[in-house]
Structure 1
């Protein structure tokens, strides 16, 4: 790979800027100054320094974001801020995208990567990877509701959802004294507004929704809304657990 392409991919500058950096002696390859920006390097074998700091090259990045409400799960939107607006330039250079989507008003676990193959595997319906959500709903959940989720519910247009699990956590009250039920719901699909449509089908409405896990990957409780961090190798692999 050309040194200007490698550094450009990592956000160190444009090709013309990197050409100037080379001439200024700011780039070292295996301890020697590299004056030509078209010099070919092997990022896995060569040691590269930029302005005194070692350049760590990697093909893919994997980020866990605690998505806040109000952001669209997309790389671009004409009207709203996207989740990429929360990510620093050093990662944006890799051109990451969300693995799946969360509704604009839904919070919680969202993975961003530039690894298309991993994203395809995680999102493939054939994999049956579970996504778990914490929800607050405006109805009392009974055994019939739980059974309906297990059997599958009609969410419109004749579509019957695959089996899902519904776990009641308890009842709480909001600041105005209105009661709501706290639940966990786990689904293996990702239809448009699916969780909300499922509760609507049994006569309820979702007041608050947050994704807490995907496969074996759980949301880091230390991440505040809008914060993110890189995933470990073990966490990346856990995403594909059923």
Structure 2
């Protein structure tokens, strides 16, 4: 059981004093019923509540899928573009939600965000070899030789060994479906450059067993459950 003010604090609605004030101001409903007692006890798992009319469900950890649009930086202190964090509600930001890895400002597609530090580590650890799938638009036509080079491995100036794509499929003359398992800086762009081409557009379609949810528009986000699409199994194995 958990006191309501503590429960609200855990979900990102401010300090205990701020959450107590929300409850006392009759701005909180629990399971559809007004509750103005900050110390009222509730079982948190699966609890639904509303603050100022907006519905929430208690979550021990937050897992979010964001369809990142172009022109946003994956930083809390962006330098040249707006932050992707500006696309999230304040309650999630107060919880310390962070991006799982980064996408360049001009790269679009699936971005996972969470406040589960263990999950972040599991996703980004080089030892886990979590697959990331991209649709790559290229400046020059792609031929079979370039696909073979990407699959066999290219030499990057700051890597001790050749870096190979886990999978590479030509979609048309200037589009590739490319899978990598490393999280290196500008990796896909550098690999294409080493293969004699150049990335014109980059869109992430999937991470591990999790694909970009259909119908999720650029700039929008949605909740993910821990076991959705094998999330735990893919990233914590």
Q: Which bracket does the TM-score occupy, shorter chain normalised? A: 0.7 to 0.9
The alpha-carbon distance between structure 1 residues 99 and 26, as it changes in their structure 2 partners (threshold 3 A), is closer
Task: Go from structure 1 to structure 2 and tell me whether the alpha carbon gap of 1:78 and 1:135 turns closer, same or farther (over 3 Å shift).
Answer: closer
Q: 1:214 aligns with which of 207, 214, 220?
A: 207
Report SS of the residue matched to 1:157. Answer: coil
Inter-CA distance 207–45: structure 2 relative to 1 (3 Å threshold): closer
TM-score (norm 1): 0.80
- 1:122 equivalent to 2:123? Answer yes
- Number of the residue aligned with 2:81: 80
Q: Which shifted more, 44-53 or 73-82?
A: 44-53
* Map of 1:178 onto structure 2: none
Aligned equivalents of 1:143, 1:32: Cα separation in 2: 65
- After the TM superposition, which residues 53-64 of structure 1 pair with which residues of structure 2 at under 5 Å, given as runs? 56-64=57-65
Following the alignment from structure 1 to structure 2, what is the Cα–Cα distance between the partners of residues 220 and 46? 25
Are 2:195 and 1:202 aligned? yes
CA offset digits 1:160-206 (Å, max 9, x no partner):
343312211113xxxxxxxxx11111110011101000111122111
8 Å Cα contact 2:8/2:19 also seen in 1: yes
* CA deviation profile, 1:133-182 (whole Å, cap 9, x unmatched): 001112232332222212211122344343312211113xxxxxxxxx11
Contact 2:146 2:196 (8 Å CA) reproduced: no
Q: Does 1:96 align with 2:132?
A: no
Find the aligned partners of 1:45 and 1:86 in 2 and give their Cα distance.
Answer: 25
What residue number does 2:112 align with? 111
Q: Select between 127-136 and 39-48 the one with higher mean Cα deviation.
A: 39-48
Aligned match for 1:192, one of 185, 188, 196: 185
How far apart are 1:22 and its partner, in Å?
Answer: 5.1
**Structure 2-normalised TM-score?**
0.81
> Is the contact between residue 215 and residue 241 of structure 1 (CA under 8 Å) also seen in structure 2?
no
Tell me, what secondary structure is at the counterpart of 2:235?
Answer: coil
Deviation at 1:80, TM superposition (A): 2.9
Match of 2:168 in 1: 166
> What is the CA-CA distance between 1:84 and the residue it aligns to?
0.7
Q: Indicate conservation of the 8 Å contact 2:48/2:58, yes or no.
A: no
**Which structure's CA Rg is the greater one?**
1
- 1:216–1:241 Cα contact (<8 Å) kept: no
Change beyond 3 A, Cα 1:184–1:238? farther
Please, which moves more after superposition, 146-155 or 54-63?
A: 54-63
